[in-house]
Amino acid sequence: MRKTTVMLIALLALVLGGVVAPNTPSFAQDGETIVDIAAANPDFATLVAAISAADPAIAETLSGEGEYTVFAPTNEAFTTTLENLGIAATDVLADQELLSTILLYHVVEGEFFAEDVVELETAKVPTLEGEEVSIRARSGGVQVNQANVVETDIDASNGVIHVIDRVLVPPSVLRSLLADVELGTEDDPITLLFIPSENAQEVQAGADELAALISEESGFEVEASVATDYAAAIEALCGEEAEIGALNTFGYILASQRGCADVGVVSVRFGSTTYAGQIITRADSGITSLEDITTDTVFCRPDPLSTSGWIVPSIAMRAAGIDVDNLNVVDAGGHDGVVAAVYNGECEAGATFVDARGNVEEEYPDVREVVVIIGTSAPIPNDTLSYGTHVPYAMRLLLTEAILTIADNPEYAELLDAVYNWGGLQLARDAFFDGFREQLDAAGIDIESLQ
């Protein structure tokens, strides 16, 4: 068995990740082929229509002898993908060559079941179309390119089907859709916008290196820039002055509500795509709980739109009866700055992510004794790389694949850590933030009022 197929076996085992039940009920009856199973399932009606309209050799292959693994998009997957790409389904069905190319990109030679896996890895696997698909097993599930595997192990007489929630579009097809687009060229480069967490020069240097890697991997011209704050980054995306923004949770929610941002990837730190905020004070301040904070308290925050450093703690303080609107607030210019200001007595309390004290421990070795935590928040989604909605969807898919490929490479782990303390990057969709939106709604918070 070829190395790539062995790797695919390892990647499709969702059972060890606890993501999808390994023994998903099969639609198959004895002797039924991949095409038979698809034809009998109404969720695959569009897929069956596509197979019928494509090169007859595809139906013959998937109905004949052999062993194949098929990543099968549902009807909804076809609708969503084609709408995002701005392509009419009738146009695709009428173009036999295009349709055949797309369908073959969903088929891998060999029969691979989820239960065959020993360990989960990441790999690029060749398809019958000729181009590769990327298989990634993550804490949130398994993805094939940017499609989620939602059901596994539908056994057929000539292979196995795994259900996905997006149509896989070959990179060559995506690039053909962008043939007349000037964005991403030397004359009109893609702007990748970051926010200075503490040291703007260090962030700019890391961002420049990351932008160069994305350019090399994607084939698009990408340039990095550093905004003054989250508000400026949001305005740049909404004003179509930037194409990719490193937005924090609240910044993304605000920009997406305005209809000008769509998440691409979410960061991973310490193996998690969520984090928490904390409220800190000096151990000798006399402040032992939120209730001890008053309007006379000098309170440090990193930025007015910092999720863990202001939005979430301000909600907690309101719930504790504190008049947040009249609080004596100081913007410290970053999470490290908040910790340093509290340590030095410039602020009596402040808010940061957990645990920002570690970022200044080299300068202040006793910071964990001097600065103490008096409250922590519920989990918050991590920061993102999000696209302006003016960026063509085909370009977003190609850029996201490039970004994830870079993040998969251990060679660049140090760079990701240097840019924003990222331990990795993971595919994300807007629904990932719904839980946090619900927290804001439950607190009676009007998102736009917090700008």
Give the Cβ contact number of residue 28 at 10 Å.
19
Angstrom distance (rounded) from CA 434 to CA 445: 14
Domains of the chain: 3-169 (2.30.180.10), 178-273+381-450 (3.40.190.10), 277-377 (3.40.190.10)
Per-residue pLDDT of the chain (451 residues; tens, 9 = 90+): 333 333 333 333 332 233 333 333 344 455 689 999 999 999 999 999 999 999 999 999 999 888 999 999 999 999 999 999 998 888 888 899 999 999 999 999 988 776 553 344 677 889 999 999 998 887 667 889 999 999 988 999 999 999 999 999 999 999 999 999 999 999 999 999 998 765 667 778 888 999 999 999 999 999 999 888 888 999 999 999 999 999 988 899 999 999 999 999 999 988 899 989 999 999 999 999 999 999 999 999 998 888 889 988 888 888 888 998 899 999 998 899 999 999 999 999 999 999 999 989 999 999 999 999 999 988 889 999 999 999 999 999 999 999 999 999 999 999 998 888 899 999 999 999 998 888 777 777 776 665 5
DSSP, res 379: P
**Per-residue b or e along 351-373, where b marks 16 or more CB atoms closer than 10 Å to that residue's CB:** bbbbbbbebbeeebeebeebbbe
Task: With 0.85 as the threshold, say if the pTM is over it.
Answer: no
Angstrom distance (rounded) from CA 24 to CA 8: 19
Give pLDDT, residue 27: 46
Angstrom distance (rounded) from CA 129 to CA 57: 13
* Cα-Cα-Cα-Cα dihedral sign, residues 73, 78, 79, 85: positive
